[in-house]
Structure 1
Amino acid sequence: MKIAPLLAPILLLAGLATQPALAAFEQLAPRPEIDVSDTADPGTIIVKTAERKLYLMTAPGKAYVYDVAVGKPSEQWFGKSWVSRKRRAPTWVPTPSMREKNPKLPQSVGPGPKNPLGERAINLGWGTYRIHGTNNPRSIGSAASAGCFRMRNEDVKDLFERVHVGAEVRVLH
């Protein structure tokens, strides 16, 4: 009896199996690469808030580009972070500062069409900022969030499959 076939379901459930992840990546729809002036390492995410664009570097000078909504001018932040967690069908929980500004917010919103995080959430660093989907796609291209980066659900699902936990994130003006 081989041990590896017995461990495959356990590794898959634990998120440690690599073959299904590779198979999922290979099944992603092709996305056009564009030339960019940045020369960051492949896998690095660069958000340019003035452009309202997120770039996933694929090679020095090459990237996939996605439209995003950025933070309101009073909520924007700049600097470096990293992908600390990835969540499918996330639950949204308002931060204490959101609740302070609007005490009528629900305690949480589970997965579904009313969830402000949309279908995927990519947490950044140790804080409350994320790259996530949205239940309001009309906001993409605007400065509308509390500091997070919103994407169309189909785009955040694509990015979710391409980026890894630990990836560097740079937020530039």
Structure 2
Amino acid sequence: MTTTILSRRALIGAAAATFAMPSLIRAQEAEGFNRRNISSFAQQDWRDHFENLGTGAIVCDTVSRALHFWSADDEDYRVFPTSVPKTDDLTRRGYTRIVRKKEGPSWTPTASQMERFPEWRPMGPGPDNPLGTHALYFDWPAYLIHGTHDTRKIGRRSSDGCIGLFNETVEELYALVPVGTQVRLI
């Protein structure tokens, strides 16, 4: 049997930390720190990014690795975990729109990907396709929101520039998002 002995110093330190924590949390909130939900996604409000909802709105937060979706009538708000680009060099930020949707997308490596990975080849729809089951294309060439068959990528810096979602999640988003939906990557 193991016996744990607490020193007076350890006990006093633990008590002080317990009483100080609520004060620290209130101080952070007063200073304007981003509040986070249980999943650590920074909360977003569409009004901070767009003048109106138009046909709907998406904010892709590359820091908290979350995609925020608002429907045109502001009745439907959803947050999805994402994969984000591996490096800031691969990340494009700013405003764009969904210009095309594709179920069962094919994939062609970009010129820069072919320079870095000469063994990569174009691929049709299927279980090995890095775009997963559905894709939502931006008006920026080679950037999109897509699914992935590799579920280990979600929640990580793992993409070559795109925003990745679980296949089930991108299918759900695909059904909700009309062409013309405004998007902001932050």
TM-score (norm 1): 0.74
Report the equivalent of 1:45.
Answer: 58
Q: Select which of 120, 125, 136 maps to 1:105.
A: 120
Task: Report the Cα distance in structure 1 between the residues aligned to 2:130 and 2:57, rounded to whole angstroms.
Answer: 25
Q: Deviations over 1:78-118 (max 9, x none)?
A: 10010010000010110111001111111x11111100000
Identity within the alignment, %: 35
Q: Deviations over 1:131-162 (max 9, x none)?
A: 00012111000111111000000000000010
Q: Select which of 52, 60, 82 maps to 1:68.
A: 82
Task: Report the Cα distance in structure 2 between the residues aligned to 1:168 and 1:55, rounded to whole angstroms.
Answer: 12
**How many angstroms does 1:77 deviate by?**
1.6
Does the CA contact (< 8 Å) of 1:38 and 1:60 recur in 2? no
> Are residue 121 (structure 1) and residue 135 (structure 2) matched?
yes
Report the equivalent of 2:175.
Answer: 161
Matches within 5 A, 1:88-103: 88-103=103-118
Deviates more, 1:61-70 or 1:153-162: 61-70
Q: Which amino acid aligns with 1:138?
A: R
Report the equivalent of 2:146.
Answer: 132
**How many angstroms does 1:75 deviate by?**
0.9
Report the equivalent of 1:82.
Answer: 97
Does the CA contact (< 8 Å) of 1:37 and 1:61 recur in 2? no
Task: Report the Cα distance in structure 2 between the residues aligned to 1:142 and 1:105, rounded to whole angstroms.
Answer: 22
Q: Which has the larger radius of gyration?
A: 2
Q: CA RMSD in A?
A: 1.7
Task: Report the Cα distance in structure 2 between the residues aligned to 1:126 and 1:38, rounded to whole angstroms.
Answer: 21
Q: Which amino acid aligns with 1:135?
A: H
Q: Which amino acid aligns with 1:86?
A: K
Specify the SS of the correspondent of 1:147.
coil
Task: Report the Cα distance in structure 2 between the residues aligned to 1:136 and 1:143, rounded to whole angstroms.
Answer: 13
Task: Report the Cα distance in structure 1 between the residues aligned to 2:140 and 2:158, rounded to whole angstroms.
Answer: 22
Q: Which amino acid aligns with 1:146?
A: D
**How many angstroms does 1:57 deviate by?**
1.1
Specify the SS of the correspondent of 2:184.
strand
Distance 1:165 1:62, change over 3 A: closer
- Number of aligned residues: 137
Q: Which amino acid aligns with 1:164?
A: P
Task: Report the Cα distance in structure 1 between the residues aligned to 2:141 and 2:79, rounded to whole angstroms.
Answer: 25
Specify the SS of the correspondent of 1:56.
strand
Specify the SS of the correspondent of 2:148.
coil
- Identify unmatched segments of 5+ residues in structure 2: 1-42
